[in-house]
Homo-oligomer: A and B are copies of this chain.
Amino acid sequence: MTISMVAKHAKWPAKADAIFAIAGKAQEAITKYGKENVTNSTLGALMDDDGKLIAFDSVFGVLKDMPNEEISAYAPIAGMPKYLEAVEETFFAGYKPDAHIRVVATPGGTGALKVAMWNYTEEGDEILTSDWYWSPYNTISEEAGRKISTFQLFSDEGNFNITDFKKRFKEILNKQDRLMAIINTPAQNPTGYSVSDDEWDEILAFVKEEAKNPDKKIILLVDTAYIDFAGAENEKRAFFTKFSNLPDNIFVMAAFSTSKGYTMYGLRLGALIGMSSNEEIADEFRVSSLHSGRANWSNGNRGAMLVVAEIFNDKELSEKYTVEKNEWKGILRRRAEAFVEASEEVGLELLPYRDGFFVSLPCDKPYEISDALIEKNIFMVPLGKGIRFAVCAVSEEKCRKAPKVIKEVMDRFK
């Protein structure tokens, strides 16, 4: 046994990244069998029908036309003011709540989640999220000595399980004076579920009731990573107005990312958005977020910020971007519909898909089933309670064919 040099809290087991490992195998299969014979539904990025990453011309054109000094210079810690303004306007898109709003730039959605969790929970706290969740929530929380606890996302009818949400929320709030709940909506990763407006009403009525105890602090963190590919227009943002006039001891944050909506995954740009009825609480959020920014990464990708700002401020460019995004939104929608319809035809059980990049299938032996599907040249990511199909990365034709094969393989494990 060798000496360990890291501090105890920083000692982690070496773990290969499961998604990258399967994606690697998919690449091998493509080389061996040809891409037409392989369904690579592993990676969470929008691809064309040949599996090539989509990078919007409207976005990268702006970046490449920018003077070098504009990309080279440092941005302020908070972010470029015109980026922050563009985020605020495009994010709420007419559904701005009656609240004091502050926006701070972060490296991607992950940076936003990190700042929120670090600043708004205590060491040892339980953070509540759904049992189907994006696994880095766990990495972010365990790095900081917090712990993810879960409620059942779905009721038997396939709706948001408000009963279990309330039960688990109350249990934790009995033990802690502050509670953060993370809700990944719309277009949840990994299920594709979107909390409906009615369900939001139920959630907010409940937390308002809990907030009547002035000793309790309730933090809602809405992870909106996939919002730009949800709904037909902006209707999936309507729930934002419900964050109006909340009591002071309910603080709402949204984690925003440019990764999907601008296809700027590799540029690492997002934002954390804080909302409060109380201006001092909103200002406190900004100060804490800036301190975290300074202490973690200093400042953000300046060129990427200016791209977002320029698309927002230039009408022609904005239209070009919207046309390009909507084209892909349509393709994504058709792929997902093909997958869902074909699944219904063969009786393949899916979790209720509403929007976004992923569809998930519940099952008992996800790793075994994923392995067995690899034999059929279908590459899906195993999760704790099922397997995930990335419709964002697979052609409509393959989305239509895959469910039959998946059903046959899964039936062998019943």
Residues of A within 8 A of B (CB): 2-14, 17, 20, 45, 52-55, 57, 60, 63-64, 68-69, 71-77, 107-108, 110-111, 114, 118-122, 136, 139-140, 142-144, 178, 217, 219, 248-249, 251, 259, 263-268, 276, 278, 280-281, 283-285, 287-288, 291-292, 294-303
Distance between Cα atoms of A110 and B303 in the complex (Å): 19
Distance between Cα atoms of A122 and B6 in the complex (Å): 9
* A12-B291, A69-B55, A143-B291 as given contacts; A301 in contact with B136, CB under 8 Å: no
Residues of B within 8 A of A14 (CB): 283, 287
Q: Tell me how many chains of this kind the complex includes.
A: 2
Distance between Cα atoms of A111 and B296 in the complex (Å): 6
User: Shortest distance in angstroms between A62's beta carbon and chain B's nearest beta carbon?
Assistant: 11
A-B pairs, top 8 by smallest CB distance, nearest first, are A266-B302, A143-B295, A55-B72, A55-B68, A10-B119, A110-B298, A60-B68, A107-B297
Partner of A108, one of B12, B291, B297: B297
* A3-B281, A45-B74, A114-B296 as given contacts; A11 in contact with B288, CB under 8 Å: yes
Residues of B within 8 A of A142 (CB): 295
Contact: B72 with A294, CB < 8 Å? no
Contact: A265 with B73, CB < 8 Å? yes
Contact: A7 with B119, CB < 8 Å? yes
Contact: B55 with A291, CB < 8 Å? no
Residues of B within 8 A of A144 (CB): 295
Residues of B within 8 A of A288 (CB): 6, 10-12
Distance between Cα atoms of A264 and B108 in the complex (Å): 19
Contact: B264 with A5, CB < 8 Å? no
Residues of B within 8 A of A9 (CB): 122
